[in-house]
């Protein structure tokens, strides 16, 4: 697999000491979708933003699903490993450290799968409206890895029990999980931006 197998955008860091971000869009998004969010929550960070390689009715996604909320888990695993290989190759090409994933919806779900399947690829993750990606995930070693999980209490797609289960699953693997349930639906709000910005600032400060 070549690094160019994902259409992507890359913006180099413009400030020292910032954390590289891996931006993972939701269904129907593309490599441009979350660049603005990345700039807002971590100004000056290097941004790596791939486009999902699966099409659902013409809309890019990171893996196939059988129905809303029902994932093709074999495809989840295969696509997560492909994404991990892309990140490794992009790090070498662009000279960046392990990134923090910032994923929304389908992008958050592939980020969660990547954490469980290839924990060393990511330095941490901001999971926006994520679900449990695998019904029987492997035992992952996420000791001390920082993860922010932001859920919407009125989300029609992600049941509260599912996001709580994801938080527990990641915590049990050793991750340092902060799970907040916001007065929101599936779409992002200013509260998501503010919380993610504060959290990434703290992660960068602790890594310095």
> Which positions are catalytic?
105, 155, 186
* CB hemisphere CA count around 170 (13 angstroms): 31
Contacts of 151 (CB under 8 A, 6+ apart): 129, 130, 158, 160, 163, 179, 180, 181, 182
Contact at 8 Å (CB) between 113 and 34? no
Query: Residue 150: beta bridge partners?
Result: 128, 180
Q: Per 3-state DSSP, what percentage of the chain is helix, strand, and coil (rounded to 5)?
A: 40, 25, 40
């Amino acid at each position: 697999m070549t690094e160019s197998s994902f259409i992507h955008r890359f913006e180099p860091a413009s400030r020292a000491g910032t954390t590289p971000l891996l931006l993972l869009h939701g269904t129907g998004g593309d490599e441009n979708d979350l660049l603005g969010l990345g700039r807002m929550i971590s100004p000056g960070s290097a941004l790596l933003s791939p486009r999902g390689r699966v099409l659902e009715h013409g809309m890019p996604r990171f893996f196939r699903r059988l129905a809303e909320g029902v994932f093709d888990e074999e495809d989840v695993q295969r696509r997560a490993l492909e994404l991990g290989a892309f990140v490794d190759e992009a790090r070498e090409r662009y000279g960046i450290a392990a990134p923090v994933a910032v994923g929304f919806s389908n992008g958050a779900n592939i980020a969660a799968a990547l954490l469980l399947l290839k924990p060393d690829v990511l330095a941490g993750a901001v999971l926006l409206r994520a679900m449990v990606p695998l019904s029987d995930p492997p035992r992952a070693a996420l000791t001390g890895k920082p993860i922010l999980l932001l859920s919407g209490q009125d989300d029609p797609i992600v049941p509260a029990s599912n996001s709580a289960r994801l938080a527990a699953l990641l915590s049990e693997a050793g991750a340092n999980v902060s799970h907040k349930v916001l007065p929101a639906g599936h779409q992002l709000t200013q509260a998501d931006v503010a919380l993610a910005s504060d959290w990434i600032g703290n992660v960068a400060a602790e890594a310095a």
